[in-house]
Amino acid sequence: MPSREETVAKLEALINRATDLSWIRHDGEEWAIWKDEVKHYLCRTLGNSAEQEFSNAMRVTALPAYGGDHQPYYLKALDRAVTSLKVIKARVERGDYGTAPETQASAQSPSAPSVFIAHSGEPPALSRLAEFLKALGVEPVIAERLPFKGRQVPDQARSAMNGCAAAIVFATAADAAKDRTQPGRGLLNETGVLQEQFGDKIIYLVEEGVQLGVMLDSYARESFTQECLERAFHRIVVELKAHKII
């Protein structure tokens, strides 16, 4: 049985090898060889639950029509596979594996840290972001999905922030203003409150093509697309580790 350090190193190597796979065709044998190696290693080292989690992550619910281009669907499956491996690697680093499978699959612990997500509307990637945080052992807090109890929207957001360890600004395209695209006004207004509440514990994720505006341009951010969140997920792990939240 390899040590935790050896397992982390092996998973990192598998993740790094996946970078080369984005340049090959979907029917290349390198993809099949890599998948089989990952599945075998996960099953042998971490158990069936880890292997199943990896396999489920690659499933694409829609496929192109007969004769259509499969390459975009292959790249989406590759992105999800790499994201799944990064989540599993983060769990290994925390020492989650080695416990009984039912413990690994259990609901979030009451003591799990929470992260507030500021966003505009319900973009398709929002649920994937929430699922990723849960996989890291972090409880995502989305104000609009909590009971309002008669509160107005700004008060609801402030109430939801209480008790959170950090915040994520998930800036997606909402409003077109002349020659630029910006997130919703509510998100821009909420960002000021976040800065007062969380200080430097804010992660800025900005959809490609979206401009935050002059007041926020100086803050470091990670770009993403609705289809590909890998870089954003990597940034989340880096920042949450830096603040010792995970």
The per-residue pLDDT for 109 is 46
Average pLDDT, the chain: 79
Q: Report CA-CA distances (Å) from 26 to 68, 75, 76.
A: 13, 8, 11
Q: With cut-offs at 50, 70 and 90, classify the pLDDT of residue 219.
A: confident
- Identify which has the larger pLDDT, 203 or 221: 203
| Domain boundaries 114-242, corresponding CATH code | 3.40.50.10140
**pLDDT band for position 202 (50/70/90)?**
very high
Select the more confidently predicted residue: 96 or 103: 96
Distance of CA 92 to CAs 1, 8, 11, 20, 86, Å?
Answer: 14, 7, 10, 24, 10
If one compares 26 and 76, the residue with the highest pLDDT of the two is 76
Residue span(s) of the chain under CATH 3.40.50.10140 come to 114-242
Nearest alpha carbon to residue 210 among 220, 191, 223, 219: 223
Range of 21-30, 54-63, 65-74 with top mean pLDDT: 21-30
Q: For residues 41-65, give the mean pLDDT.
A: 73
From 215, 216, 233, select the one nearest 224 (Cα to Cα).
233
Across 89-106, average pLDDT: 62
pLDDT at 87 over 90: no
* Residue-level pLDDT at 27: 63
Determine the Cα–Cα distance for residues 169 and 115; give it in Å rounded to an integer: 11
Integer angstrom CA distances of residue 202 from 6, 117, 118, 130, 164:
32, 10, 10, 16, 11
Q: Looking at residue 203, what is its pLDDT?
A: 93
The closest alpha carbon to 195, from 179, 228, 225, 218, belongs to: 218
pLDDT confidence bin for 190, thresholds 50/70/90: confident
pLDDT at 182: 64
Q: What's the predicted TM-score (pTM) here? A: 0.59
- State residue 105's pLDDT score: 41
The better pLDDT of the pair 102, 154 is held by 154
pLDDT of residue 239: 92
Phi, psi of 177 (to 5 degrees): -125, 105
- pLDDT average, residue stretch 165-180: 74
